[in-house]
Amino acid sequence: MSKPLKVLLVEDSEEDTLLLLHELTKSNYRPVHRRVETADGMRRALAESKWDVVLSDYWMPAFDAPGALQVLHESGLDIPFIIISGKIGEDLAVAAMKAGASDYLMKGSLARLGPVLEREMREAEERHTHRRTQEAVARGKAEWEAVFDAVSDLIIITDAEGVVSRCNGRASAYFGGYNSVIGKRIDQIFFGNLQPEAKVFRFVHSMQSEIDEDICFPNLKGWYNVASYPMRFEDSDRSGFVFIIKDITKRREVEEEKRTSDRELLTLYAVAFRLQYTQGVEKVMGDLLFQLHNMLQMEFSCIHLIDGGKLKLEASLGLSPPFEKAMASIGKGSQWWELALSGRPFRGEEPDGRFPAKAKAAAIKMGMRSWCSVPLRIGQEVMGVMTVGTRAERSYNERDVFLLSSIAGQLAVLIENYNLYDRMKEKAEELYRSKEELRENLQQVKRANLELGRLNTVKNNFIGIASHELKTPITSIMGGVEFLLKYSGIQMTPEQHSIFVSVYEGTVQLRKLVEDLLSISRIEAQGPLPQKKLANLMQLCRDAHDMFALPLSERRIRVQIKGDETPVPVDEGFAMLAVKNLLENAIKFTPDGGEVFLSGQVLKRSDLKGLAPTLRHFYPSFPNEMGPARRYYLLQVLDSGIGIPADERVRIFDKFYGVGDIAHHSSGHTAFMSKGSGLGLSIVRGIMDVHGGAVWVEGDVKGSTFSLLFPISEG
């Protein structure tokens, strides 16, 4: 069967063309040809079609074989070029072959044309195959080098003596370019002139190895892990090593953060366990300081309580006798007293002028460096101060202060409980003495016994409840103080009235803290899911407003409630708590005479795109996490208060985080002025999470806007 053949003929003779085609047909080819006589014609033919072979006459009136060969070379094509001429000298034929011609034949002897074509086409195919193979190898090498340079780890290849022969782009970037790496010893690159203590880069490996410990190199920042692998070359005595150096700085930071968190949690657990003891407050304070020394690696600590207008040292550990003597009693007027009574933590990196003079000298002598003092307080009432210190060159950061403040808060509650217990014991003794006196008269004894039985029952109930419940005693304290302030009619001095107001506000804060903690516990434990039913959120806002009618009137704050009355599926209890917390914050942080505006509207899912730039600060994947609902209800609470700094708007939804200061308000003598527990907005966030909604805040120094987004329906 004849084989197809595309032939480009560079020929000026029609008869010679027919002769060549006839010879090709005889050689079992089925030729398709095109004849050209000029250089331009040949260029067009090469550009317009693909050819298997070029057959060229040597001499033509306007063209010749060397010119045709030059045109073929310019095209960049690899096509067999065979010269077929009637008369050609051997010197011209040799020159043509040197110029790139595949072969030459005489027109009078075309019998060799078929075999020559077979050979040249076979060799051309072999050249094509070889070229494709080389291109594939070059492409694979380029891809491998790209991958090699793209790896985030430092990859360095050395010879058996540790001299670097190659490195990836990351290693080059670390050390300022390839010239700083290639040709140098690897240990010199990483350690400079210092000799490494461990055998990090030693070239005696018989198998791959990895350094177990983390390494900190003098010439690099951070921590690294080194793995080495031996490298052998086939059919060669050469050998070398591949070193992979991983930057594990971020991993170390995460691990260090976890260790710190674990230590803090373990400390809080140990402290909470110690605070369960009932062996007396002195014993508890001593055990607490012992735990702090063990868990937080401190050398000095002490606890002062306010007693008789002075700060008296009640417990200490690790202090020198001169320091204890100097700090045994600190009176009013000293800077330490003023700082302790301010109710805020204070700290330093060395003993300074805030210490009493003798205490400062004693602290320096016993080696105290960093120190921190945190108040023991319940609400706004300060009952003492706890001080810790260390010889180490370290600073107490905000995280340390928060942990110590949490521990101090637990201790303050325990001390207050002990004080209440002592007062109850005194009352019981008084009742016992009354009973002995009443025995002198039988009738009086009977009446006294009845009264004593009643009082004893009240006492036992009170002791039992106070030992493990907080809410009932808090309610009792609030009721008693409120009665004395508002309904008893007792004449009080301004100082007495101020004290009772402070007690009442502190108790309100404590009750709010207990309620907030219970709410947080229920939400985080994923207790009963919200019992959803359709509710009018605008009516719910009006109900919440009624709860705050008195403080609103005292503060002269105007509240407007206006919005869409569309029913929304919510858990009414949770929704009311969320609105109540936001309205309470709006009242608290709005100056007297200000305004609060509550509004509501229904949004389509497509409307969420406009909210995305703001909400992604609070919910990074918004609106993907909003579920399948097609409609939403947007409830907003706007106030004209002090505003919230932009860098704190996301953090205010964290537990125990508070922003703002009492000094920002217009008055400190009306309701809702004290700082809260820092849990209210965290509770709101949890409520919106279980509803599948969202909460966020916007605003400036002229006020804040809190928004609640509830899903309405899927249809």
Residue 277 has pLDDT above 60, yes or no: no
Give yes or no: residues 225 and 316 share one domain: no
Q: Which of 226, 247, 268 is the last residue of a domain?
A: 247
Q: Which of 131, 160, 189 is the last residue of a domain?
A: 131
Residues with Cβ within 8 Å of residue 85, at least 6 apart in sequence:
57, 58, 59, 65, 104, 105, 106, 107
Q: Is the dihedral of CA 154, 157, 162, 163 positive or negative?
A: negative
Give yes or no: residues 61 and 106 share one domain: yes
Give yes or no: residues 312 and 381 share one domain: yes
Paired strand residues for 239: 232
Give yes or no: residues 569 and 655 share one domain: yes
Give yes or no: residues 284 and 388 share one domain: yes
Rounded mean pLDDT, 9-36: 85
Residues with Cβ within 8 Å of residue 685, at least 6 apart in sequence:
653, 695
Give yes or no: residues 185 and 322 share one domain: no
The answer to the question of residue 587 being in a domain is: yes
Per-residue model confidence (pLDDT) at position 636:
93
The answer to the question of residue 443 being in a domain is: no
Rounded mean pLDDT, 689-703: 84
Q: Which of 247, 267, 300 is the last residue of a domain?
A: 247
Lowest mean pLDDT among 73-77, 177-181, 213-217, 361-365: 213-217
pLDDT in tens, 466-487: 334 566 677 777 778 777 777 7
Tell me how far apart the alpha carbons of residues 317 and 303 are, in angstroms, rounded to a whole number: 9
The domain that contains 85 carries what CATH number? 3.40.50.2300
> CB of 366 within 8 A of CB of 339?
no
pLDDT in tens, 484-508: 777 777 887 888 777 877 777 677 6
Q: Which of 122-136, 237-251, 535-549 has the highest mean pLDDT?
A: 535-549
Tell me how far apart the alpha carbons of residues 513 and 680 are, in angstroms, rounded to a whole number: 9
Residue with tokens 């002025």: 673
Q: Residue 390: which domain range?
A: 258-418
| Selected residue with higher pLDDT from 370 and 124 | 370
Give yes or no: residues 405 and 552 share one domain: no
The domain that contains 688 carries what CATH number? 3.30.565.10
pLDDT band at residue 300, thresholds of 50, 70 and 90? Answer: very high
Per-residue model confidence (pLDDT) at position 633:
93
Q: How far is CA 161 from CA 156, 165, 177, 186, in A?
A: 13, 11, 22, 9
Cis peptide bond upstream of 530, omega within 30: no
pLDDT band at residue 81, thresholds of 50, 70 and 90? Answer: confident
Read off the tokens for 31. Answer: 């030729």
Tell me how far apart the alpha carbons of residues 375 and 185 are, in angstroms, rounded to a whole number: 58
Q: For the beta carbon of residue 435, count every other beta carbon within 10 angstroms.
A: 16
Give yes or no: residues 324 and 371 share one domain: yes
Rounded mean pLDDT, 171-178: 82
> CB of 395 within 8 A of CB of 372?
no
Lowest mean pLDDT among 31-40, 438-447, 579-588, 600-609: 438-447
Angle at which helices 537-547 and 572-588 pack, to 10 degrees? Answer: 50
Per-residue model confidence (pLDDT) at position 441:
65
Residues with Cβ within 8 Å of residue 527, at least 6 apart in sequence:
none
Rounded mean pLDDT, 693-714: 86
Residue 285 CA to chain centroid, in angstroms?
37
Tell me how far apart the alpha carbons of residues 658 and 585 are, in angstroms, rounded to a whole number: 11
Lowest mean pLDDT among 243-252, 407-416, 508-517: 508-517
Rounded mean pLDDT, 656-673: 53
What letter represents residue 584's amino acid?
E
Phi, psi values for residue 105, rounded to 5° = -135, 155
> CB of 510 within 8 A of CB of 420?
no
Helices and strands of the chain, counted as H and E runs = 21, 23
Residue 607 has pLDDT above 50, yes or no: yes
Per-residue model confidence (pLDDT) at position 465:
39
Rounded mean pLDDT, 277-303: 79
Per-residue model confidence (pLDDT) at position 522:
59
The answer to the question of residue 282 being in a domain is: yes
Paired strand residues for 304: 313, 385
Give yes or no: residues 402 and 341 share one domain: yes
Tell me how far apart the alpha carbons of residues 597 and 638 are, in angstroms, rounded to a whole number: 5
What letter represents residue 13's amino acid?
S
Residue with tokens 């209210």: 680
The domain that contains 291 carries what CATH number? 3.30.450.40
What letter represents residue 528's amino acid?
P
> Total structural domains in the chain?
5
| Selected residue with higher pLDDT from 658 and 199 | 658
Rounded mean pLDDT, 601-621: 87
> CB of 568 within 8 A of CB of 537?
yes
The answer to the question of residue 188 being in a domain is: yes
Residue 109 has pLDDT above 80, yes or no: no
DSSP assignment string, 105-141:
EETT--TTHHHHHHHHHHHHHHHHHHHHHHHHHHHHH
**Percentage, residues of the chain above pLDDT 70:** 81
pLDDT band at residue 181, thresholds of 50, 70 and 90? Answer: confident
Give yes or no: residues 276 and 207 share one domain: no
The answer to the question of residue 454 being in a domain is: no
Residue 2 has pLDDT above 80, yes or no: no
Tell me how far apart the alpha carbons of residues 483 and 480 are, in angstroms, rounded to a whole number: 5
Residue 697 has pLDDT above 70, yes or no: yes
Give yes or no: residues 654 and 565 share one domain: yes
Rounded mean pLDDT, 355-360: 90
Q: Which of 35, 99, 86, 23 is nearest to 59 (CA)?
A: 86
Residue 142 has pLDDT above 90, yes or no: no
The answer to the question of residue 24 being in a domain is: yes
pLDDT in tens, 384-432: 999 999 988 888 888 888 888 888 888 888 888 877 877 787 888 888 8
**Percentage, residues of the chain above pLDDT 90:** 11
Residue 659 has pLDDT above 70, yes or no: no
DSSP class of residue 330 equals E
The domain that contains 186 carries what CATH number? 3.30.450.20
Give yes or no: residues 96 and 235 share one domain: no
Per-residue model confidence (pLDDT) at position 541:
92
Tell me how far apart the alpha carbons of residues 367 and 361 are, in angstroms, rounded to a whole number: 10
Residue 72 has pLDDT above 50, yes or no: yes
The answer to the question of residue 385 being in a domain is: yes
> Structure pTM?
0.35
The answer to the question of residue 10 being in a domain is: yes
